[in-house]
Structure 1
Amino acid sequence: MKTGIAVIAASALALCACQQAPADGSTETPAPEERTTAPADIAVPAETVPEAPGSTDLGYAGPIPMPIRVGTNGADMDSCASYGEVSGLNPDGDNYLAVRDAPSTQVKERNRIGNGHGVHVCAEEKGWYGIVYDIEGDSGIDCEVDSPVEQPRNYTGPCAQGWVSKKFVTIVAG
């Protein structure tokens, strides 16, 4: 009987040790289906957006979330190379631009932004822009992407991030 309890306790400890901290630095770990970004210390190559292994068990069958990388243009350039505004949305349609977890329509929509919303364009991938943006549009928050960083890294600043279809963003600077 004691051996069975010891095996269960050891298994539980092993599972707990496999948990990862969330990318936002908080101590609360969301359930796998609630996670919205990859951990900040894991870089997903921009060339691929792989399928999540075993993801059908979690009810998720699309590409895994892909964090926004900043500083990829060199140490002497701004963290994000361009600034743009959402434009061209159909006012008779949905009239919003879906912000997604990866450059694909097969991933979770994390937010919606409207015409005129300003975004920092930090990455580009197959018809998508990786953006950093003030969730309110223009609340005055410094997203901390207007200065260089020493080495490329995943964005962990105070603003929101995600992927949007580039056909609905007009570059206005950079």
Structure 2
Amino acid sequence: MFKMLVATALVFGVTVAEAKKKEDANRKPASITGNVMVGGEAEFDACGGYGVVLATTSLVSIKDGKMEFDKVDVNTFVSSCDSSEDRRFIGIIYGKKGQDCGVSSPIPKRQEYKGPCKSGWIKAEFFELLAG
């Protein structure tokens, strides 16, 4: 594996660390099995929690079977909608200030969140639940 990274770095003129980062970008953490899910309860909001991001961190989402990365800034208020089975990651949804993300009302059928806001996974250690 390391030899392959060094060869990649030499051929493409990138550092070994950059080559490793690109390789890792196509692997999702084992505890994340898909995109953020919402709903599933006819009498409760589609997302049951509301909180704040404690530090600027990576937002991981899955598009066409591959991981995509974005960032979430510190002090961003988000809806918490899902968690990984091992509780290491929180599935969040957030939009621009005042934007309705469509998750503060019931969605009876459990389903993958499709927008209009951003969604993805952050490490649970970077999230503080404020309500829910």
Tell whether the structures are fold-level matches, with TM greater than 0.5.
Answer: yes
Aligned length: 101
Matched residue, 1:166: 124
Question: Using a 3 Å threshold, how does the CA distance of structure 1 residues 65 and 111 change in structure 2: closer, same or farther?
Answer: farther
Work out the CA distance in 2 between the residues paired with 1:61 and 1:111. 14
Residue equivalent to 1:99: 59
In structure 2, do the counterparts of structure 1 residues 117 and 75 end up closer, same or farther at CA, with 3 Å as the change threshold? same
Matched, 1:146 2:104: yes
- Shift in Å, 1:61: 4.8
**Residue type at the aligned position of 1:172:** L
Moved over 2 A (4+): 107-110
Q: Aligned letter for 1:71?
A: G
Which structure has more relative contact order (CA 8 Å, sep 6+)? It is 2
Unaligned 5+ residue runs, structure 1? 1-58, 90-95
Residue of structure 2 in register with 1:129 after alignment: 90
CA offsets per residue over residues 20-73 of structure 1, 9 Å max, x none?
xxxxxxxxxxxxxxxxxxxxxxxxxxxxxxxxxxxxxxx67523871111113x
* Secondary structure of the structure 1 residue equivalent to 2:116: coil
> Offset of 1:115 from its aligned partner?
1.3
User: Unmatched 5+ residue regions in structure 2?
Assistant: 1-22
CA RMSD of aligned residues (A): 2.1
Is the Cα–Cα contact under 8 Å of residues 128 and 163 in structure 1 kept in the other structure?
yes
| Shift, 1:156, TM fit | 1.3
The offset of 1:76, in angstroms, is: 0.8
| Deviation of 1:150 (Å) | 1.9
Separation (CA, whole Å) in 2 of partners of 1:150 and 1:113: 28
TM-score (norm 1): 0.53
Partner of 1:68: 36
Sequence identity (%): 30
**Aligned counterparts of 1:61 and 1:131: Cα–Cα separation in 2:** 21
Greater strand content = 2
- How far residue 160 of structure 1 moved from its aligned partner, in angstroms, is 0.6
Query: For the pair shown, which has the larger CA radius of gyration, 1 or 2?
Result: 1
Kept in 2, the 8 Å contact 1:98–1:109? The answer is no
CA 1:65/1:124 → structure 2, altered by over 3 Å: closer, same or farther? closer
User: If the length of structure 2 is used for normalisation, what is the TM-score?
Assistant: 0.68
SS state at 1:167 partner:
helix
